[in-house]
């Protein structure tokens, strides 16, 4: 009865929040849903993957929730804050068209400077996650390399999907007036509009659709995942990966998702890539179709024809049962086996592609 009561209280609280809380986001209109139905990836009111995909491939969802909340495995969090290099916002304002530079803030939040433009991927730049902070994991570090309000003008923000660790209400509210465009998968527009983002700054995209920025082509590409910010809107928005192309450079961001044939297809169509930001962390055998094991992350980078891989989706939050630094250890070993260059910067450490050795120090062991 105690277990049932606790889980019941959590679920009731979640239902209450998703009915009334601002962080839940907006709801699509009938016209929105009619447009989604024409996407080719929308069935019976939900978006679907290219291949059959199960969120849970083993175990019971309530049982996994109980385990996550009350039975922590050893070493799932570091013993203290992770080493971080404070970012000088002035350095980002120096536009260098030929520069390709990436700065990883932890988890999947990354700043890419390409063709003189500042692009932000999944900018979850808050210390606390979601509306119920006692239920969701907090960030390992009490502060980030830079605060959202310190960032310079951002040409575009790209969102991969609407989960709280990728689409953060507080960050969007702080950034919205300095962002030129928000490129998002279908269905995320209502969330942004509900949070005060001007509709003309939002471009919702289906897989395969492209958008233009000065000197850049942005392409929304598939991933193998799921979506939803509450108990009643599972798969109500699309999920994606992203391709960024300039005349001289190409970048791929995987978003979240399980391994699948879409990576080879993306590599054949848009590769090779100078850099691939690849999901690598928060995995488990019980959700093996919606998140990749580290070895699969490396193989996916090979599939998209990446010249350099930077593992993301780790180093900030504990959302699975594996040791916090296991993803990068396993990915490093597999990348070495496959002869794939792997960049492992510290949080906030800018990495300039093609300008000397990549950062490869195993700082997570120290």
DSSP assignment letter at 289: T
Span 209-233, pLDDT tens digits: 999 999 999 999 999 999 999 888 8
* DSSP assignments along 180-203, one per residue: EEEEEETT-HHHHHHTT--GGGEE
Cβ–Cβ < 8 Å for 143, 347: no
Q: Is the pLDDT of residue 20 over 50?
A: no
pLDDT at res. 8: 44
pLDDT at 45: 92
Confidence grade of residue 366 (pLDDT, cut at 50, 70, 90): confident
Q: Which of 197, 244, 188 is nearest to 216 (CA)?
A: 244
Q: What is the pLDDT of residue 181?
A: 98
Confidence (pLDDT) at 230: 84
- With the CA atoms of 311, 315, 317 and 319 taken in that order, what torsion angle do they form, in degrees rounded to the nearest 10? 50
pLDDT at 92 over 90: no
Q: Mean pLDDT throughout 79-93?
A: 89
Give the position of tokens 């003309």. 200
Average pLDDT over residues 205-211: 98
Residue 22: other Cβ atoms inside 10 A:
12
- Tokens at residue 283, please? 């995995």
Report how far residue 197's alpha carbon sits from residue 123's, in angstroms, rounded to the nearest whole number. Answer: 15
Strands 202-205, 210-213: parallel, antiparallel or unpaired by DSSP? unpaired
Q: Residue 17's beta-bridge partner residues?
A: none
Distance between CA atoms of 107 and 316, rounded to whole angstroms?
Answer: 5
* Mean pLDDT of the 85-92 span: 85
* Torsion of the alpha carbons at 147, 151, 155 and 156, rounded to the nearest 10: 0
**What is the structure's pLDDT at 131?**
84
CA–CA separation, 196 and 194 (whole Å): 6
In the structure, what pLDDT confidence band is assigned to residue 65 with cuts at 50, 70 and 90? Answer: low
- pLDDT-derived band at 6 (thresholds 50, 70, 90) equals very low
Q: Which helix (H) or strand (E) holds 113?
A: strand 109-114
d(CA 205, CA 185): 5
User: In which order are the strands placed within the sheet that holds 100-106?
Assistant: 202-205, 179-185, 154-158, 117-121, 109-114, 100-106, 351-352
Q: What is the pLDDT of residue 94?
A: 72
pLDDT band at 64 (very low <50, low <70, confident <90, very high): low
Residue 304 is encoded by which pair of tokens? 């998209």
Which residues, other chains included, contact 276 with Cβ-Cβ below 8 Å and sequence gap of 6+? Answer: 251, 252, 253, 254, 300, 301, 304, 306, 308, 309, 310
Give me the phi and psi of 24, to 5 degrees please: -65, -30
Kindly state the average pLDDT of the residues 18-31.
Answer: 80
For residue 30, the model assigns a pLDDT of 92
Residue 176's pLDDT is 96
């Amino acid at each position: 009865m105690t277990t049932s009561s606790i889980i019941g209280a959590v679920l009731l609280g979640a239902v209450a929040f998703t009915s009334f809380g601002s962080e839940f986001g907006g709801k699509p209109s009938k016209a929105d849903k009619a447009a989604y139905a024409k996407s080719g990836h929308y069935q019976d009111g939900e978006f679907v993957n290219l291949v059959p995909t199960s969120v849970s491939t083993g175990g019971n969802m309530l049982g996994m929730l109980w385990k996550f909340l009350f039975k922590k495995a050893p070493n799932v969090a570091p013993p203290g804050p992770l080493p971080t290099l404070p970012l000088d916002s002035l350095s980002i304002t120096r536009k260098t068209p030929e520069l390709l530079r990436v700065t990883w803030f932890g988890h999947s939040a990354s700043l890419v400077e390409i063709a003189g433009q500042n692009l932000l991927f999944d900018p979850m730049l808050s210390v606390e996650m979601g509306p119920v902070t006692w239920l969701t994991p907090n960030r390992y570090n009490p502060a980030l390399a830079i605060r959202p309000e310190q960032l310079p003008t951002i040409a575009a923000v790209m969102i991969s999907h609407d989960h709280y660790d990728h689409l953060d209400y507080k960050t969007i509210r702080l950034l919205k007036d300095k962002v030129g465009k928000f490129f998002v998968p279908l269905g995320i527009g209502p969330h942004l509009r509900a949070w005060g983002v001007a509709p003309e700054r939002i471009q919702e995209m289906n897989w395969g659709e492209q958008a233009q920025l000065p000197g850049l082509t942005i392409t929304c590409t598939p991933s193998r995942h799921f979506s939803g910010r509450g108990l009643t809107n599972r798969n109500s928005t699309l999920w994606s990966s992203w391709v960024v192309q300039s005349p001289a450079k190409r970048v791929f961001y995987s978003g979240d998702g399980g391994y699948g044939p879409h990576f080879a297809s993306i590599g054949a169509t848009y590769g090779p890539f100078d850099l691939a930001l690849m999901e690598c962390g928060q995995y488990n055998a019980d959700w093996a179709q919606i998140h990749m094991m580290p070895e699969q992350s490396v193989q996916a980078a090979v599939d998209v024809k990446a010249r350099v891989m930077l593992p993301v989706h780790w180093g900030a939050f504990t959302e699975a049962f594996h040791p916090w630094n296991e993803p990068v250890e396993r990915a490093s070993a597999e990348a070495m086996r496959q002869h794939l260059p792997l960049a492992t910067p510290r949080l906030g450490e800018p990495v300039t592609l093609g300008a000397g050795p990549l950062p490869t120090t195993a700082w997570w062991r120290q």
